Structure 1
Amino acid sequence: MSEGFTIPKFELPNFIGAIGRKLPQWPHALALVGGLNAALKLKLLSADDLEAITDKVFQVQVRDTGGTARFTYRNGLFRPLFRSEGEADLSFSANLSAYLQLLNRQEDPDTLFFKRELEITGDTELGLLVKNMLDAIELPKLPVGLPKLRH
Structure 2
Amino acid sequence: MLLPKRATTLLVNKSTPFFSLAYKLLPNRIESVLLDYLMNTLSKEFIDNNELDFINDKFISISIPDLAIHWTFTKTQEYNPKDDRLVLVSDKHIKSDVNISGTLNAMILMASQKVDPDTLFFNRELTITGDTNLGLEVKNLIDQFNINLLGGAIKKSLDFWSQSIIEVRHAERSIC
| Structure 2 length-normalised TM | 0.61
Change (3 A) 1:115 1:83: same
Summarize the alignment of residues 45-60 of structure 1 with structure 2, pairs less than 5 Å apart.
Answer: 47-60=49-62
Deviation at 1:53, TM superposition (A): 0.7
Aligned to 2:130: 122
Name the structure 2 match of 1:36: 39
Greater per-residue helix proportion: 2
Structure with greater contact order relative to length (CA < 8 Å, sep ≥ 6): 1
Which stretches of structure 1, 4 residues or longer, exceed 4 Å deviation after superposition? 7-11, 15-30, 141-145
How far does the alpha carbon of each residue in 1:16-50 deviate from its partner, in whole angstroms, 9 at most, with x for none?
A: 75996798767545432321111244x25573431
Answer yes or no: is 1:92 the counterpart of 2:94.
no
Q: Match for residue 66 of structure 1?
A: 68
Cα deviation for residue 86 of structure 1 reads 3.7
What residue is the counterpart of 1:149 in the other structure? none
Q: Which piece of structure 1 moves more, 115-124 or 16-25?
A: 16-25
Q: CA deviation at 1:102?
A: 1.1
The alignment covers a number of residue pairs equal to 140
Query: Which residue number in structure 1 is paired with residue 142 of structure 2?
Result: 134
SS at match of 1:112: helix
Residues 113 and 40 of structure 1, relative CA distance in 2, 3 Å threshold: closer
Using the aligned pairs only, state the percent identity.
29
Aligned mates of 1:82, 1:109 — CA distance in 2: 27
Alpha-carbon displacement from aligned partner over 1:81-137 (angstroms, at most 9, x marks no partner): 111234211111111111111122121111111111111111111112212222333
Q: For the aligned residues, what is the CA RMSD? A: 3.7
Deviations 1:37-90 (A, max 9, x none): 11244x255734311111211111112221221111134111111112342111
**Higher fraction of strand:** 1
Unaligned 5+ residue runs, structure 2?
Answer: 3-7, 77-82, 157-176
Q: 1:93 to 1:27 in 2, by over 3 A?
A: farther
Distance in 2 separating the partners of 1:62 and 1:77 = 23
Is structure 2 residue 91 aligned with structure 1 residue 83? yes
Q: Which runs of 5+ in 1 are unaligned?
A: 146-151
Provide the rounded CA distance (Å) in 2 between the counterparts of 1:71 and 1:139: 19
